[in-house]
Amino acid sequence: MTAFPSVEWFDDVRDIFNHEDSFRGGGGGQCNCVAGIKVGNEIFVLTFEGFECAGARKASLGDLDEVDFYLDMEILEWQAMIENIRQNGHAGLGYTLNTLDLDRAERLATSVHGDQYREDLFFRYNQTLQYFFDASSRIATEFAS
């Protein structure tokens, strides 16, 4: 069991994502962006380069200034999404990243800089980002109670 959120959890997902050929087709493929992940007050930064998620690191609030966009949800919302992915093998109808971004008062994907060109990377690489989180269905996750 790997705890979410943690660098270890993202590394486990990266390991699956980076070695799964099917994620490179079907609208996936090369992806170049830096994405922040905000889980409550905890911050992580994922770097996508080419076909891979090249790195995951713990970060601070100030680091969000530098990312192209960041995904912001409370821990219970992240938990609901990850558990749904685990149950279905992929995100169910109500839990795809795009759906979560649209179906809530506060956006899932946002940025500090406000540059829509960079925020649009969330849309341009959406299938890859979805594949990344869908890869978490193959690991056992535990959540802080």
- Enumerate binding residues for another protein (CB under 8 A): 25-30, 49-50, 93, 96, 98-99, 101-103, 114-117, 119-121, 123-127, 130
Q: How far apart are CA 18 and CA 13, in angstroms?
A: 8
Cβ closer to another protein: 19 or 58? 19
Q: How far is the CB of 74 from another protein (least distance, A)?
A: 21
Cβ closer to another protein: 43 or 53? 53
Q: How far apart are CA 8 and CA 140, in angstroms?
A: 12
Q: How far apart are CA 14 and CA 128, in angstroms?
A: 12
Q: How far is the CB of 145 from another protein (least distance, A)?
A: 32
Cβ closer to another protein: 127 or 137? 127
Q: How far apart are CA 128 and CA 85, in angstroms?
A: 15
Q: How far is the CB of 25 from another protein (least distance, A)?
A: 8
CB 82 within 8 A of CB 138: no
Cβ closer to another protein: 60 or 106? 106
DSSP per position, 43-76: EEEEEEETTEEEEEEEE-GGGGGTSSEEEEE-HH
Residues with Cβ within 8 Å of residue 1, at least 6 apart in sequence: 140, 141, 142
Q: How far is the CB of 142 from another protein (least distance, A)?
A: 28
